[in-house]
Amino acid sequence: MVAARDVVTSLRDRAWAAAAEVTDPEVPVLTIADLGVLRDVTETPDGVEVLITPTYSGCAAMGVIAIEVELALARAGIPGRVRTVLTPAWTTDWMSEDGRRKLLEYGIAPPGKGSGRRALFGTDEVACPRCGSDDTAVLAEFGSTSCKALWRCRTCREPFDYFKCH
């Protein structure tokens, strides 16, 4: 019988674990794994290739994320490269439940589970992350970053960011 400490972790698993710890520079409470931006890790003859998908095609944070992933791999002693892939397009459905919880605790209203692309054809109902009221209204389609909208709660009167559905 093999003891747990004797189990060898694959190169892919080690690389995934290293990359998964990289945080989003725009929302530092989230990792790229929480966001679903970390798509895949494959072994190559030279090490690994990490695939990342931006939350939207013009995301300014992707350059920083790619560099941070390369640094995380280097710190773990893993040779590798990062490649950005645009298809399939990222959706908020890829966000983890832990990521949604972290957003809420940080004061950003998370997208509803399963809302993803379907939200493009309906009206968002967003609960205030501070008081929980559903009596909210959009103030601006873009908040502190392009992936968030600025909303206001009519109950507690506080403004807040909402992580938009994609």
- Where are the domains positioned within the chain? 4-84, 108-163
Choose the weakest-confidence range: 2-11, 90-99, 116-125, 153-162: 116-125
pLDDT 10s digits, 74-119: 999 999 999 999 999 999 999 999 999 999 999 999 987 655 444 5
What is the structure's pLDDT at 8? 55
Cβ–Cβ < 8 Å for 131, 109: no
What is d(CA 83, CA 86) in angstroms, rounded to the nearest whole number? 10
Bridge partners, residue 31, by sequence: 23
Tell whether the model's pLDDT for residue 145 goes beyond 90. Answer: no
User: Which CATH number does 4-84 carry?
Assistant: 3.30.300.130
What is d(CA 149, CA 144) in angstroms, rounded to the nearest whole number? 8
64: Cβ–Cβ under 8 A, 6 or more apart, which residues? 25
Q: Give the single-character DSSP code of 105.
A: H
Arithmetic mean of pLDDT, 21-40: 96
